[in-house]
Every structure is written in C-alpha cells, then in structure tokens.
Chain A
Amino acid sequence: DQQVKQNSPSLSVQEGRISILNCDYTNSMFDYFLWYKKYPAEGPTFLISISSIKDKNEDGRFTVFLNKSAKHLSLHIVPSQPGDSAVYFCAASQGGSEKLVFGKGTKLTVNP
C-alpha cells in the first residue's frame, strides 16, 4: 500500500514557465515532507522540505505548498530552466522518525 503517491510519472514544460509537481499521502501522521531531485546515474539530492506546522516554504525558485486537510503537497519551480530536468521524489516522515517513505517520482522535462 503506497503511503506517498506521485500520480504523474512525467511532466513537460517550456523554459521560463512554471512547473508544478504534485504529491499525495495517505498517512495523517506524517508531519515532515521533503522533495529530492535526481539526475541519471546520480543519487537523489535534497531540494526543499516543509514541516506540517507550515503551509508554505520557499527557497529561491522553489516553493513547496502543504495542504494538510487534503493530504497534498506540491512543488512549484518558477521560472523553470532546462537544468531542472530530472526526476523529482516526494518523501515523508512522522513523529521525528528518521525513516522516509518515498513516492515513485515524477520525471520533469524542461524544453528550451
């Protein structure tokens, strides 16, 4: 049973436009969420995180939004750049646990 779901396997956007990646979770005990970016033949790299006490966290071009009532979070990238083309993973943990549960990822392609 997947507790963290990324329902779009892929997404394609034009350079300069906004990319929106979505993630849904089923476990209401999750209280910390992270996004990782992964290039081919490399390990996932931490991008941005958000605690459940917040509904938004911003870092440069990257913003994560959390909607606890809908058990949904999203990652916005504005403006999108070709170098952002990668697979993006959503992950969640609960109660200070070190265990992360990952979604299966969304492959983002930013076209020049």
Chain B
Amino acid sequence: DAGVIQSPRHEVTEMGQEVTLRCKPISGHNSLFWYRQTMMRGLELLIYFNNNVPIDDSGMPEDRFSAKMPNASFSTLKIQPSEPRDSAVYFCASRRGSRENQPQHFGDGTRLSIL
C-alpha cells in the first residue's frame, strides 16, 4: 500500500509569496492531520479533518494559514502571505479513524524555507 504522499518535498520561496502544500492520505483513512515541526516547538498539530470536515483548527497559528480537504484523497495547507518564521518541516498524517487506538501514519514532510 502507498503511504501518505506529500508534495513538494522541498519549497524555497520569498517572503510574501503564497505557499501551497499538498497531501494525499492513505486510501481508506478518514482522518487527516497537518503538523509543523520546528526546533523550538517540536511537532505541533495545526489542524485535523475527519471525513473531510475540519474538526479542530486551534493549532493554526494565524489567519495567514488555511487548510482544505475537498475530497477524501486530497488536502492542502496554504500560507498567504508567507513569512520567514513559517520556515519549518510540515507533515501530513492520516489515520483509519473508525477503529479505536489506530496510529497515525505520517508522510515524509515538506521542508519549507521562506527567505
């Protein structure tokens, strides 16, 4: 089975530009999570969806960040406008939420650098 697929793997862009990160969850998984990893804060949850519906976005840092899940096989995390402090590794994870105590499966991340 294919794992969680994220694109791009690396993104370098200038401050003020719009950034779009993409995620394809594992087929059959109905929960999707976006995380950000930084040295200072570690791995923190930004938002998660269940059955394509956003359930908890309390971790989204500010209005510059938005996430969508238009269907069960695709999600985007958008930053507009981007700032240097947004530089981090962004992970997407998915989970078969219908069963108790199922682990989350992570993609390999997008390393984002804002100059």
Interface residues of chain A, those whose CB is within 8 Å of chain B, are 32, 34, 36, 41-46, 49, 51, 89, 96, 98-105
Q: B48 — which chain A residues lie within 8 A by C-beta?
A: 98-99
B104 adjacent to A45 (CB under 8 Å): no
8 Å CB contact of A45 from B31, B44, B106? B106
Contacting A at CB under 8 A, from B17-51, are 31, 33, 42-45, 48, 50
**B84 interface hit (Cβ, 8 Å):** no
Given contacts A41-B109, A46-B104, 10 further A-B contacts (CB under 8 A): A42-B109, A43-B4, A43-B108, A44-B43, A98-B48, A98-B50, A98-B55, A99-B45, A103-B42, A104-B43
Q: A43 — which chain B residues lie within 8 A by C-beta?
A: 4, 91, 93, 106-109
In the bound complex, what is the Cα–Cα distance between A99 and B97 (angstroms)? 11
Residue of A nearest to B48 (CB): A98
The tally of residues in B whose CB lies under 8 Å from a CB in A reads: 24
In the bound complex, what is the Cα–Cα distance between A79 and B64 (angstroms)? 47
B1-16 interface bits toward A, Cβ cutoff 8 Å, 1 = contact, 0 = none: 0001000000000000
Q: B45 — which chain A residues lie within 8 A by C-beta?
A: 99-101
Q: B103 — which chain A residues lie within 8 A by C-beta?
A: 34, 46, 49
Interface residues of chain B, those whose CB is within 8 Å of chain A, are 4, 31, 33, 42-45, 48, 50, 55-56, 91, 93, 95, 97, 100-101, 103-109
Residue of A nearest to B100 (CB): A96
B42 adjacent to A104 (CB under 8 Å): yes
Q: A45 — which chain B residues lie within 8 A by C-beta?
A: 106
Q: A46 — which chain B residues lie within 8 A by C-beta?
A: 103-105
In the bound complex, what is the Cα–Cα distance between A83 and B52 (angstroms)? 37
Q: A101 — which chain B residues lie within 8 A by C-beta?
A: 45
Least Cβ–Cβ distance between B35 and chain A, in angstroms: 8
B43 adjacent to A102 (CB under 8 Å): yes
Most buried by A among B43, B55, B97, B105: B43
